[in-house]
Amino acid sequence: MSKVWNYFAGPCMLPVEVMKKAQEEFCDFEGAGIGIVEMSHRSAEFTKVAQDAEALLRELLNVPSNYKILFEQGGGRGQFAAIPLNLMPEGGHADYFVTGHWSRCAWKECNERYGEAILHECSEQDENGQYFIDYSKMKVTEGSSYAYLCLNETVNGIEVFDIPDTGDVPLIVDMSSDIMTRPIDVSKFGAIIFGLQKNVGPAGMTITIVREDLLGHARKYTPSVLDWSVLAKFESMFNTPCTFSWYMGGLNFKWIKSLGGVTELEKRNIEKSKMLYDYIDSTDFYISKVVPKDRSRVNVVFTLKDESLNDEFIKTAKAKGLIGIKGHKVLGGMRASIYNAMPIEGVKVLVEYMKEFAANHK
Amino acid sequence: MSKVWNYFAGPCMLPVEVMKKAQEEFCDFEGAGIGIVEMSHRSAEFTKVAQDAEALLRELLNVPSNYKILFEQGGGRGQFAAIPLNLMPEGGHADYFVTGHWSRCAWKECNERYGEAILHECSEQDENGQYFIDYSKMKVTEGSSYAYLCLNETVNGIEVFDIPDTGDVPLIVDMSSDIMTRPIDVSKFGAIIFGLQKNVGPAGMTITIVREDLLGHARKYTPSVLDWSVLAKFESMFNTPCTFSWYMGGLNFKWIKSLGGVTELEKRNIEKSKMLYDYIDSTDFYISKVVPKDRSRVNVVFTLKDESLNDEFIKTAKAKGLIGIKGHKVLGGMRASIYNAMPIEGVKVLVEYMKEFAANHK
């Protein structure tokens, strides 16, 4: 196949330059004679790779010095357990601001296994059937251990741009799909968690950026690998980390820096998503079910007005080299994920295809 | 550097053919136009990769049909928690047959966090100061939930070749460093766990082969990602797995099959380790602190009689392209890891170097 455009939601497209570099040195990392995946995580070479990646992440996100950066295994799902295990004492409670699929999963993990997770339904439908975020619902309750929020709901295509003020209650956010896509003020959060497999690198690693005073309170039965204070103490080398993801994350951070950092990426992501939403709004062939102000810049979710055309839309796209546009199974419809690695050309190609398909099915 | 011999204990050398294949198709997997790390774990292509790898593992180890194979994140350390969380009820106890560093770590994780882990010290020193496994200590206690054993102690260079009979008490073994290095009778075990980063593939994935009747008993507060029954229910796709490790594991399994399976690898591993131990025993310049019958075939641990030469031994080796032979920090000395991927040539080169170094330091 000559050229493929990859709109998978994650694992997903990675920057072409990053992929090429990793391929080039796959069997011989910087002249060491062996590949990065063949190196001990405690070797001098890998230690440098790991430390450089962390330093660059700290620089790009402007992470304050009183925050630790932890490189973990277990995925976002593992962190859904780690959050209450590390932050909520037995008998405590926490507030979950739910705006879609993944924040509901986080709520469920806590509520079924660790204690009272108060569900605040923060996504509602307006009179046109479009979803919007009801920020007025984002209120913490008395004595809450933390408030939880997913800043970008990958499945629903909803993104939180206004960070609620939770006062002294630490706000814990999942940024798996929008990390590095826009500047954020880390100091507003108790912890930021994200899986690497969308905007950073291959699946297999999760990063937690956590304020130091929140460490050291884990429940007794917290597995060591999910105990943030254990990971902090051993600088994420308590056990063997997913070295390849860590390494590729580092390559990705270098790529981001070379482009001008997250501010530049935010500009590009605004431009890319605007192009796609503008087209969707200009036709009644396609529908966005999210109000403009809350639309995700990275996961553009839409449906065809005539849903009987869904299969044909996907099949025809694939034949043209446009893959991964089927929506998540819980929601159906379509989803184009256009993370940092997706160039504007990839969005233009998609819009052209959508126009053509619509024209052919008038 | 022209040629490097890599004796790291893990992550470590992977088969040359496997590394080359992964490099070749890194940016374009089987003509899909994108790399395997860029594919959704739910895509048809990756699903096939995952299922083929599992089927091949089942075939190579002759895994009975009443055993599930789970592909996990969290490492061996994560499984140290998962074992009691899945198998030991509150207030229960288990037997730990400790022969070295890693089984002691497993014992500690259970004992400090989940309940009574009875420590059976099964490694002792004889009158010559050599360690041996005291199999007579491997006795289960009344009412034990399970017995735990590490079949190959990577740090200590001790390997268990006689599997103790634990009757109705499920025997749970860690085979992180000797999986696929010799045939085993899976039906003797309640569960077998292993990290991929020694004999299978890149770090970031752990596999648990578990008898079905042991599923479904996890404690309420077990994180979903460590609950074996959750992983079994979702066929290891409850959350995004470490797709690259899974894929490379599959390549490795194909490579093993092409060589003739684990029986053939066992022959090679016997030959390789014998060559190295025979030389060590033939000189008093180097010392093995393990009795011959209990020596690991994959981690050859030895010391220099004159330990003041340690640094020079390591430095000179590195200058000749022999890397990763420094022993684990808890034990000191030297360790040459010669897993499946290490050809006999790599052992010959090491023996030659050891001879030369000894001759130069008479």
Which residues from chain A sit within 8 angstroms of residue B78, using beta carbons? 73-74, 223, 225, 239
Distance in Å, alpha carbon of A219 to nearest chain B alpha carbon: 9
CB contact, 8 Å: B73 with chain A?
A: yes
- What token pair was written down for B286? 């180097």
Domain assignment present for residue B25? The answer is: no
> Which among B68, B107, B174, B246 is annotated as catalytic?
B174
Which of A225, A323, A339 to mutate to probe the B interface, most B CBs <10 Å? A225
Q: Does B159 lie at the interface with A, CB-CB under 8 angstroms? A: no
| B79 vs A: CB within 8 A | no
Using the 3D structure, point to which of A205, A227, A258 is the last residue of a domain. A258
Residue in chain B closest to A114 (alpha carbons) equals B221
Tell me which chain B residue has its CA closest to the CA of residue A199.
B38
Asked if B147 and B40 sit in the same domain, the reply is yes
The pLDDT of residue A350 is 98
Q: Tell whether B17 is within 8 A of chain A (Cβ).
A: no
Q: Which residues of B touch A34 (CB under 8 A)?
A: 4, 6, 13, 323
How many C-alpha atoms does B247 have within 13 Å on its Cβ side? 24
Whether residue A8 is contained in a domain is answered as: no
The position carrying tokens 């008998």 is A91
Flag if A224 and B12 touch (Cβ within 8 Å): no
Q: Is B330 on the interface with A (CB under 8 A)?
A: no
Both structure tokens of B24: 């070749």
Rounded CA-CA distance A97/A10 in Å is 23
CB–CB of A11 and B202 under 8 A? no
B251 lies in the same domain as B328? no
Residues B41 and B188 in one domain: yes
Query: For the stretch B173-202, what's the b/e string if a residue is b when 16 or more beta carbons lie within 10 angstroms of its beta carbon?
Result: bbbbbbbbbbebebeebbbbbbbbbbbbbb
Whether residues A109 and A235 share a domain: the answer is: yes
Residue A346 maps to a domain: yes
Say if the Cβ atoms of A37 and B2 lie within 8 Å: no
Q: Is A74 on the interface with B (CB under 8 A)?
A: yes
Instruction: Judge if B39 and B98 occupy the same domain.
Output: yes
Provide the pLDDT for residue A2.
55
Residue B239 touches partner A, C-beta closer than 8 Å: yes
pLDDT of residue B1: 44
Task: For B97, list phi and psi in degrees, rounded to 5.
Answer: -90, 100
CATH of residue A72's domain is: 3.40.640.10
Cis peptide leading into residue B343 (ω within 30°):
no
Establish if B204 touches chain A: CB-CB under 8 angstroms: yes
- pLDDT value at position B330? 85
What residue ranges in chain A does DSSP mark as E strands?
Answer: 5-6, 67-72, 93-98, 116-121, 123-125, 131-133, 147-150, 152-153, 158-159, 171-174, 191-195, 206-211, 286-287, 299-304, 322-323, 334-337
For residue B79, the cross-strand partners are none
Q: For the whole model, what pTM was predicted? A: 0.97
Of the candidates A4, A14, A197, the beta carbon closest to that of B33 is on A4
Measure CB to CB from residue A23 to each of B27, B40, B195 and give the nearest one. B27
Tens of pLDDT along chain B (362 residues)?
A: 458 999 999 999 999 999 999 999 999 999 999 999 999 999 999 999 999 999 999 999 999 999 999 999 999 999 999 999 999 999 999 999 999 999 999 999 999 999 999 999 999 999 999 999 999 999 999 999 999 999 999 999 999 999 999 999 999 999 999 999 999 999 999 999 999 999 999 999 999 999 999 999 999 999 999 999 999 999 999 999 999 999 999 999 999 999 999 999 999 999 999 999 999 999 999 999 999 999 999 999 999 999 999 999 999 999 999 999 999 888 889 999 999 999 999 999 999 999 999 999 98
Task: Say yes or no for a CB contact (<8 Å) between A77 and B12.
Answer: no
Return the residue of A nearest to B102 by Cα. Answer: A239
Alpha carbons B55 and B246: distance in angstroms, whole number? 12
Is A349 in the B-facing interface, judged by CB distances under 8 Å? no
Task: Give chain A's residues under pLDDT 70.
Answer: 1-2
| Chain A residues lying within 8 Å of B193, measured CB to CB | none
Q: Tell whether A187 is covered by a domain.
A: yes
Min distance A224 CA to chain B CA atoms (Å)? 7
Does A251 share its domain with A270? no
B104 in a structural domain? yes
Residues A174 and A48 in one domain: yes
Rounded to two decimals, the ipTM of the complex is: 0.97
Structural domains counted in chain A = 2
| Planar angle of CA A185, A255, A2, nearest 5 degrees | 125
Alpha carbon dihedral B211, B214, B218, B219, in 10-degree steps, equals: -140
CA distance A230 to B301: 29
In a domain, A1, yes or no: no
Contact A103, A148 (CB under 8 A): yes
Residues A226 and A303 in one domain: no
Contact between chains at A241 and B34 (C-beta distance less than 8 A): no
The CATH number covering residue A269 comes to 3.90.1150.10
Nearest CA in chain B to A78: B225
Last residue of a domain, one of A258, A291, A308: A258
- Same domain assignment for residues A147 and A267: no
- Tell me: do B269 and B254 sit in the same domain: no
d(CA A354, CA B208): 45
Assess whether B198 carries a catalytic annotation.
Answer: yes
At residue A1, the pLDDT reads: 44
Beta bridge pairs of residue A124 = A132
Q: Is residue A216 part of a domain?
A: yes
The nearest alpha carbon in chain A to B34 belongs to A4
Cβ distance B203 to A240 less than 8 Å, yes or no, reads yes
In one letter, which amino acid is A360? N
Domain boundary among A240, A258, A276: A258
Is some CB atom of chain A closer than 8 A to the CB atom of B109? yes
In a shared domain, residues B10 and B46: no
The residues of A carrying an active-site annotation are 102, 174, 198
The answer, for B10 touching chain A at a CB cutoff of 8 Å, is: yes
Q: Is residue A182 located within the same domain as residue A233?
A: yes
Nearest to A74 among B2, B78, B203 (CB): B78
Rounded to a whole number of angstroms, the distance between the first and last alpha carbons of chain B is 30
B174 is catalytic: yes
Phi and psi torsions of B70, nearest 5°: -115, 135
Residues of the domain holding A84: 17-258
Q: Which of B29, B38, B176 to mutate to test the interface with A (most CBs of A within 10 A)?
A: B38
- B14, B31, B224: residue with CB nearest A1: B31
**What does DSSP assign to residue A89?**
-
In a domain, B290, yes or no: yes
CB of A106 less than 8 A from some CB of B? no
Residue A140 to residue A166: CA distance in whole angstroms = 6
Give dist(CA A125, CA A131) in Å, integer.
Answer: 4
Bridge partners of B199?
Answer: none
CB-closest option in B31, B220, B243 to A113: B220
| Cβ distance of B223 and A82 shorter than 8 Å | yes
Interface membership of B349 toward A (CB under 8 Å): no
